[in-house]
Chain A
């Protein structure tokens, strides 16, 4: 894993059905989603977003994550290889998530959301008599 070289990727702009009220571009963060026995875990890259700028909401089975960047005026642009803007992405969760115990933390521009599985959804081994 150490000898691979990172390639620059274009940021993906969010495509929404409804128009956004702000005209500034909004991007979809790159995410890893994986599960273990206890929980589904979502990790999202949201560079420039502080803990205060994160908004997570759950409505029905939709998990929405949104990150607002703190815009800093550094003067006139000379080179712009990447665009900047807020991040937004929505996922549909299965019923088998215990929505009351969802936890999140933010560190170095990476959001981590832990979505514990409901008791009924935990894997069970079934023995046949």
Chain B
């Protein structure tokens, strides 16, 4: 919890040094992040696995996610009218006992991710496929969410 206190007004003058010190500290911190991350933007927020991309055309919304090594049967998908849940576990099979690793960068584990959609979905028409380790879910838009063309008659 943070407690803030208002300073009595007679301290109104003479606190400029504190502001300056704080600004200097802030600059130092910024520089530190820029140096370690190679860029000025520091984003501590990581998205939940798997990262997904969403695309849209007039008829459908498409969701894609990279899940190398996984097959369609390894992924569980639950669709609601305005959200979608992807669950699964990525397993990396054991290579046997008598091996020695030089590099081990690929990761295994379970995941569960919910994505909210701004558009309403025709849940009964959703389909999914897995191609070369990329999951693609086709989410047809609900009839009322599709863009409509209105003909205007000119007399």
Residues of A near any B CB (own CB < 8 A): 1-9, 30-37, 40-41, 43, 45-50, 74-82, 84, 107-110
Contacts and interface: CB of A to CB of B under 8 A. Distances in A.
Contact of A36 (B50, B66, B71, B99): B99
Contacts of A45: 68-69, 106, 133
B53 A80 contact: yes
A6 B107 contact: yes
B9 to A, nearest CB: 49
Interface residues of B, number: 47
A32 B68 contact: no
A81 B63 CA distance: 11
B64 A74 contact: yes
A76 to B, nearest CB: 6
Interface stretch (B23-31, B41-49, B145-153): B41-49
Contacts of A107: 69
Interface stretch (B12-20, B77-85, B89-97, B120-128): B89-97
A34 B47 contact: no
Contacts of B107: 6-7, 9, 30
A82 B71 CA distance: 20
A34 B56 contact: no
B47 A8 contact: yes
A109 B89 contact: no
A4 B110 CA distance: 6
Contacts of A7: 46, 49, 107
Nearest to A28: B105
B132 A109 contact: yes
B53 A34 contact: no
Contacts of B105: 30-32
Contact of A108 (B56, B70, B96, B108): B70
A74 B61 CA distance: 8
B100 A2 contact: no
Contacts of B10: none
B53 A33 contact: no
B68 A78 contact: no
A6 B90 contact: yes
